[in-house]
Structures are given as C-alpha cells and as structure tokens.
Amino acid sequence: MPPPPGLIPSGPGGPPPEPSGRSRRRRVAFVVAAFLLANSVLGAWFLSKVGSPPGARPTSTVSGQVEGDKSASAIAQIVDPAVVDINTFAHVFGEPAGRIAPLGAGTGMILTSTGQILTNNHVVERAVKIEVTITGRPGTFTATVVGVDPTQDVALLQLQGVSGLPTITPADAATVSVGDRVLGIGNALGRGGTPSVVAGSISGMDRTIRAGNPGGSSEQLTGMLETNAQIQPGDSGGPLVDTTGHVVGMITAGGTAGGSSAPVTGFAIPVDTALGIVDQIRAGGSSSTILLGDRGHMGIAVRTLDPQTGRILHVSSGALVVGVEPGSPAADAGITAPAVIRSIGGRVVISGDALGPILHAYVPGDHVVITWVDATGTHTKTVLLDTGPAV
C-alpha cells in the first residue's frame, strides 16, 4: 500500500453552506481517513486503511483533570477491561494461493460476557482471519463475523471459547451534547497493549462525513458525533466515553485540515445507532444493508477508475481491477490486472464503490455472469463464487 496520503478538503472554499431546515446538521468538508492500521498491499473498493507498522507500545497514561478530581486515566481504567485489540489477516495478491498476511489492526468493545464484540465494518473488511487480544488474558482469541452493515460501518463479531468477560456500559444518547468532555480509547497505531487514551470534548452532533483517501473509494456516513480528541489510526472500533466511563460512541474516522497530516478532529458513530444495528444483526434477518454469514467471493481488489487507464482501455466507468487473488474465481475466469469490471449479474458497475454492494447480494455457490474489459478486449464469462471474507 502506498504511504498514507494527506487528507484534503472535499471541495474549494471550505465547508458548504448550512442546509436550510437543518440547524443541527452540517456537512463536514473533509476527506476523512477511516482509521484502521494496514500493512499489506490490498487496494480495494472499501474505505482506505492507513497507518504504520505495529510495534510494542508501553502502558499509556493521561494526566489532567477531566471532571472534578477524576483524572482521564481513572476514567479509562473503568472502560479498559472491555476494550480489545483486533488484528486481521487477508489473502496476499500476487502470491501463491492460500497465503495470508497481516491486513490491519483496530479496536473493539465487548458487549456480552460470552464474547460478542462491536467494531467497525472497515476493521474486519476483507479479513479471512480475525484475532483478538483481551486485556488481562493471555494469548489471542479467534473471532468470526456474525454480521455487518457496511453502509453504517458497523460489525458484530463473536469470540470463540470465552466466558465471564467484562462489558461496556452504553450512555443515554439523549444526554449527549456539544461541549461534553470525552475520552477516546483504542489501539492507537496498532501497537497493542494497554489501550491509549486521549481527552477532548464533543464539538459537533449529527455530522455527515465522507470517509476515504484522496484518489481512492469513499463512503458517506451520517449522524456522526464530532470530537476534538486526537484520534489515531488503529482507534477504529474503540469507545468514545463520557466522564462516568459510559460509552457515547464508536470511534470511526478522523480528519485533517489545511494539508496537515495530523488529525484535528475525530468522528464516532453514536452508541445507540451502533447498538440498534447490532440488534438487527442478532435478530438474524438479512436486508439490503445487513449482511449475515458468508458472502460470495470473487477474489479481486479494485479501486476508482482513473482517467488515464480509462483512456487506455477505452472505458469511462467501471471498477478498476488492481489485484487478483491466485486460485480465486476471478483468476479461474482469466481476469488479470489491470482490467475494468463493467457488469455483474446483468447489473452495471459504474465505479469501484459500486462493486461491493453488488457482490454482497450473492452467496458462495452462486453462478454469476461477469463482463470486463482489458487490453485484449471485452470478455464475458460465468464464474462460480466461493467462500471468502465475511465482508
């Protein structure tokens, strides 16, 4: 993966004007980094993952008063036992079939004593193996994906072979307001160990943001909490907590301004929104946004089609293939990079962002007709999808 690019405003002239009739909503004029630490070369349609290689992190403490005589570190100690490190692994493009390598690192929150974990969809996206480290317990634990909502960037995991775990305490969403003091807790920079802690406050409510990297794919997320706490890559999926240690939101993204590479603002999904999606997943009903169990897998990595490649291949839209997994259905069909996916199952693919939602409609064993363009011309074949990452 290329070095993390700087984050840039989504348009000239700063933030767009306040929409009429929406006094509490302002569209944030940032391109936002979805904060997952990533190590492998995996371009894809999903939210871009940024960061640096993981390493040992010493125990983190935060000094200063947050409320009365309660220090930030004292508040964090209430929450830390229910915060976990998440490390993911994925197939390596361009390597022998079946080889996996580290994909990224993020954070999760324990919801049940038997090991249900709340995190971001982008933390586990493309993962074929998920390992979780729990504070105070030796070794690592394997997690499976119960379900996800990619449109809201929420995922529910289930740990294997655990019991008696501490759990987070959600805050009452109705009590959260601008100016409230908060802490961001997570696996900053993917270094593991005692969770990192940063102090700040709620600086905005009901924000709409677009998360991604310049030149890559992105997703729009709505209803977000904004904080001036200095969120870092790897904090994704971690808790944003109030001064009582109750969770008000799930850290999801951070933005920069003025060409700086340092985050100046962070964003979190309100905890009631995230838990509402968890309840839908637990109910076991798939929908246009809720995905349960295994999904159909084609084995390609894609990104937004750039004009130069479009001119070379004589196409103006589609999903640009930048990697093909050896031994995958795509490889068996003869798809090689670079190529542009034009349609799947009769549905036109207009961009890299559009490919994922179309593929998510299929399950392993489905036969799907795929049309693509490469340097030799236009091709159409029927492929048999296999089982891959849950999302």
CB 103 within 8 A of CB 89: yes
The pair of structure tokens assigned to 190 is 């993917």
Omega before residue 329 within 30° of 0, cis: no
Max Cα distance, the chain (Å)? 70
Strands 347-348 and 339-344: antiparallel
User: Is-catalytic flag, 122?
Assistant: yes
Distance CA 215, CA 231 (A): 23
User: Is-catalytic flag, 236?
Assistant: yes
Burial 225-234 (b: 16+ CB within 10 A, else e): bbbbbbbbbb
CA terminus-to-terminus distance, the chain:
20
Of these residues, 48, 217, 218, 236, which one is catalytic?
Answer: 236
User: Is-catalytic flag, 360?
Assistant: no
Of these residues, 80, 153, 235, 242, which one is catalytic?
Answer: 153
Of these residues, 91, 122, 246, 297, which one is catalytic?
Answer: 122
DSSP 163-179: -S-----B--GGG--TT
Three-class DSSP category at 286: coil
- List the catalytic residues: 122, 153, 236
